[in-house]
Chain A
Amino acid sequence: MSDEYENKSGYQAQSSEALTGSAGSTPDMDYVRPAELPEQDLYHGHTFITKWVFCQDAKVIGVQYFLTAVFTGVVGLILSWLMRLQLGFPGLAGFITAEHYYQFVTMHGMIMVVYFLTALFLGGFGNYLIPLMVGARDMVFPYVNMLSFWMFFVAVAVLMASFFVPGGPTGAGWTLYPPQTILEGTPGSGMGILLMLISLALFVIGFTMGGLNYMITVLQARTRGMTLMRMPLTVWGIFTATVLAMLAFPALLVSAIMMTLDKVIGTSFFMPTILKAGEVLEYGGGSPILFQHLFWFFGHPEVYIVALPAFGIVSDLISVHARKNIFGYRMMVWAIVGIGALSFFVWAHHMYVSGMNPWFGFFFATTTLIIAVPTAMKVYNWILTLWRGNIRINTVMLWCLGFIVTFVNGGITGIFLGNVSVDVPLSDTYFVVAHFHMVMGIAPVMVIMGAVYHWFPLITGRFLNETLGKWHFWTTFLGAYSIYFPMHYLGFIGVPRRYYEMYDSPYMTSAVGMNEFISTAAFLVGAAQFFLIFNVIKTLKTGERAPKNPWKANSLEWHTSTQPPEHGNFGERLPVVHRWPYDFSVPGAKDDFIPQTTPPSEVAHTKVEKT
């Protein structure tokens, strides 16, 4: 294998002259201390298989992750359509039985949270952007990175296989609460749940391999001059989310293993004594609450695993498209880190009505409300970044604005639910559904859309069509609000979630019309996503060619030797970083942006801050 590591002449370690500064005769102010490590040697694939299938280039792996995640996302979207079909027009589609409905709910939840959002943000954007943004040639362990994707791919395959086994996929709800998860009578309690647990375990193993890469690349493989406090917030968000994932997924793995044992060999970790049709089952003595604690010890950080990369990415997009430096960069970083740390101390606010120790409500309500502080600081900073900015109202900016509004909405309902006494009557109603879809469904998806429109020129060299993009945004934005605003009201009048049908309950009269409206909106919003797919297919062939650095951004990914970047990212020389990536509209500067690689001597006459 080793002969394929041919060191192209350009990939030699920098010579000793080059190590002392950026060029031969620059003033001392441009000094950046020499490289600590020699250049990374990369494996260059030669065949189709090593270049595109079992590829070790983080950028290709990122796109692979992205496409696989989008595929699962489309499956999740179709499931949500089927659910809304049943809820809005009960009995219209005869093939949706109650069992099917529960299976749709479960698979929709699990797919969207774990296999779509987590994989897309960390696997997709993380792989593509981290090495480019910190100025590395590639991830530090390209081979492990490749394995990580294929492990994820197998996990998705196992998950999808569960649709086709006898009994179908599990229908226990995405939280998989025992004891009903593995008892007969719950749909998919045979093969379905087993495949789900196996798939989750595979996902965790695959993610661990990827997560180690992201973490070590950020910590140990930055380029010269790239301090942690000069990293784009995108990297900060993805990095912190990765740390959370590395520490939270173990709890999921442990609960999956224990539940598998309960299911397969009849242990009773989570299974209490159960009477079924007058007969006592073999199980006894286990604690279902234990599962809930383990699950939410993973589950709450998981919320931030999805949210933090979105926070980071949206900060960068807003800054670039408002032509202003991000307001309070350091505060933003500390808020991300603070939210990440606090997220391990709030988990049981998902369990207020579970029958846990009643004193816990006090502890967890307090920590939950504390975590709102750094989150609110981030929202203020986004708005203050926009304040008096030179805002370009393009598709990317629209998605960012949509994100801010949606996130504030979802965040405020979160304050409701964080308080025990408010949460108790709202538990298990559509209010909760509306809350978490706003805050960790719609909001991150809006960031993903904005990020796709933003980085598409980098990845493909062509722009996405703006007109289609604006149609895409407005249908999605207005549609999403049509879905979730009425849902809050449904929750207030007490409509319970996860019910297959309302039958003749007193909710019927006022909820029926609203459910029909919500369902119609949901069909339209889902269909609107095909604007994007059509847009991508169309512009891949015929789109306007993007010039280099089309958005006039500062961060390193736009300053590669070629665009789209080749394997190795930066050509002969790694970039040397002299500043943060947010020097926009600096008074006195020639352009309204100063790339991170610009040495201080070139902008000495401007009012640029030292960063």
Chain B
Amino acid sequence: MDNTGQINDKDKKPEGSTHKIGIYLWIWGLLFVLSFFSYLVDWYQFQGMLRWSLILFFMFLKAGLIMAFFMHLFWERYALVNVLLWPMTAIACFIFLMVAEFEYTLFTRVFYFFVGGGA
């Protein structure tokens, strides 16, 4: 009498809905390794674009692994996956525009500091 659908069905064999333990341990290990690598980015004090690309690369890889396997998104049906991922385009646009905006704000601040505010 509840809404759990198929998963709750007590007669069902449990193996049908779980994954082998190995995959979790693998991902777990990978996450530690990737975190270690992103720590090394700071340890070796990489700078500039190299630092940025490494940071973002490890970040997205870790985030992707967590979402895909720990949060089971890899095994979910596309209907759910797409509903969750498409709204991120709004965030991407927001980020993109705010990058342009902070550059412009910084520009005006520095510009008017030297030029003066009076018209």
Contacts and interface: CB of A to CB of B under 8 A. Distances in A.
Answer whether A and B touch in the complex at a CB cut-off of 8 Å.
Answer: yes
Interface of A: 7, 13, 36-41, 140, 247, 287, 289, 293, 297, 344-345, 348, 355-360, 363
Nearest to B3: A37
A357 B3 contact: no
Given A247-B87, A293-B98, A344-B93, A357 B2 contact: no
A401 to B, nearest CB: 35
Contacts of B49: none
A357 B100 contact: yes
- Which of B2, B98, B101 counts the most chain A CB atoms within 10 A? B101
A398 B2 CA distance: 45
B1 interface: yes
A293 B93 contact: no
Given A37-B5, A38-B1, A289-B105, A247 B90 contact: yes
A360 B100 contact: yes
B2 A41 contact: yes
Contacts of B2: 38, 41
Contacts of B100: 357, 359-360
B25 interface: no
Contacts of A13: 1
Nearest to A248: B90
17 contacts: A7-B1, A13-B1, A37-B3, A37-B5, A38-B2, A39-B1, A41-B2, A140-B3, A247-B90, A289-B101, A293-B98, A345-B93, A348-B97, A356-B104, A358-B104, A359-B100, A363-B97
B110 to A, nearest CB: 13
Nearest to A301: B90
Contact of A297 (B3, B94, B105, B108): B94
Interface string B16-60: 000000000000000000000000000000000000000000000
Contacts of A359: 100
Contacts of A344: 90, 93
B104 A357 contact: yes
A96 B84 CA distance: 50
Nearest to B104: A357
Contact of B90 (A37, A41, A345, A357): A345
Contacts, number: 39
B97 A360 contact: yes
A13 B1 CA distance: 7
Nearest to B98: A293
Interface string B65-106: 000000000000000000000010010011001101101110
A579 B82 CA distance: 27
A185 B104 CA distance: 30
A287 B93 contact: no
Nearest to A251: B94
A289 B102 CA distance: 10
B101 A357 contact: yes
A38 B98 CA distance: 48
B97 to A, nearest CB: 7
Contact of A36 (B1, B5, B90, B104): B5
Contacts of B103: 357
Given A289-B105, A358-B104, A359-B100, 10 more contacts: A37-B3, A37-B5, A38-B2, A38-B3, A39-B1, A40-B3, A345-B90, A357-B100, A357-B101, A360-B97
A356 B101 contact: yes
B102 to A, nearest CB: 8
B1 A41 contact: yes
A287 B5 CA distance: 50
B105 A287 contact: yes
A358 B103 CA distance: 12
A345 B93 CA distance: 7
Contacts of B93: 344-345
Contact of B101 (A36, A41, A140, A293): A293
Contacts of A247: 87, 90
A38 B1 CA distance: 6
Contacts of B5: 36-37
A360 B97 CA distance: 8
A297 B93 CA distance: 11
A360 B104 CA distance: 11
A280 to B, nearest CB: 15
Contacts of A356: 101, 104
B9 to A, nearest CB: 10
A338 to B, nearest CB: 13
Contacts of A40: 3
Contacts of A38: 1-3
B3 to A, nearest CB: 6
A137 to B, nearest CB: 11
Contacts of B97: 348, 360, 363
A540 B103 CA distance: 61
Nearest to A363: B97
Contacts of B105: 287, 289
A47 B100 CA distance: 59
Contacts of A7: 1
A41 B2 CA distance: 7
Nearest to A39: B1
A56 to B, nearest CB: 15
A341 to B, nearest CB: 8
- Which of A36, A40, A344 counts the most chain B CB atoms within 10 A? A344
B30 to A, nearest CB: 30
Nearest to B1: A41
A358 B107 CA distance: 12
A244 to B, nearest CB: 10
Nearest to A347: B94
A140 B100 CA distance: 43
Contacts of A357: 100-101, 103-104
A355 B105 CA distance: 9
Contacts of B104: 356-358
A139 B98 CA distance: 38
Contacts of A287: 105
